[in-house]
Amino acid sequence: MLTADLLSEDPEVHLDELYVVSTRFESRFLQHTTSVRMVPMGLVEAEAGHAQPTYPLYEFTPDADTVVEELMPRYIESRIINILLQAMASEHASTQRAMKTATDNAETQIDKFTRLANSARQAEITQEITEIVGGADALSGSGRTER
């Protein structure tokens, strides 16, 4: 569909340019948003210091136009696949970072609530020991020998 719109001669349907906005995967912690111009393809000029040969460097069989017509769709397809793979890698890295952060936060909360539970249990044990010692002192001070 997109290829048909690019190749169409109808001015209402024809697309002059095609840009793809995506993420470029640098590393697990670094991704960049990029905009890539897919169509028209940019030409890179040779450096001015090098002499340009006047004879053809290559002879194409079939002719150059046929070769370009065959290779161009494959080239664009491979660029789109590369863009999609980099976007998937970026998404995966972002998901891993988010899950690592969530796991670290959960471990922090578990440690916090474990300490609170231990403190509450220790306070309860201390309270029970205090009550037992207080009861024993009360019994010993009353002169009763029964227990």
Percentage of the chain exceeding pLDDT 70:
78
Q: Residues 16, 6: contact at Cβ < 8 Å?
A: no
Output the pLDDT for position 114: 97
Pick 114 or 19 by higher pLDDT. 114
pTM for this structure? 0.57
Instruction: Determine the average pLDDT of the residues in 35-44.
Output: 74
Q: What is the mean pLDDT of the chain?
A: 82
Give me the percent of the chain exceeding a pLDDT of 90: 33
What is the per-residue pLDDT across 63-77, written as a single tens digit (0 to 9) for each?
878 877 888 788 888
Name the band, by pLDDT with cuts 50, 70 and 90, for residue 122.
very high
Binning pLDDT at 50, 70 and 90, where does residue 101 land?
A: very high
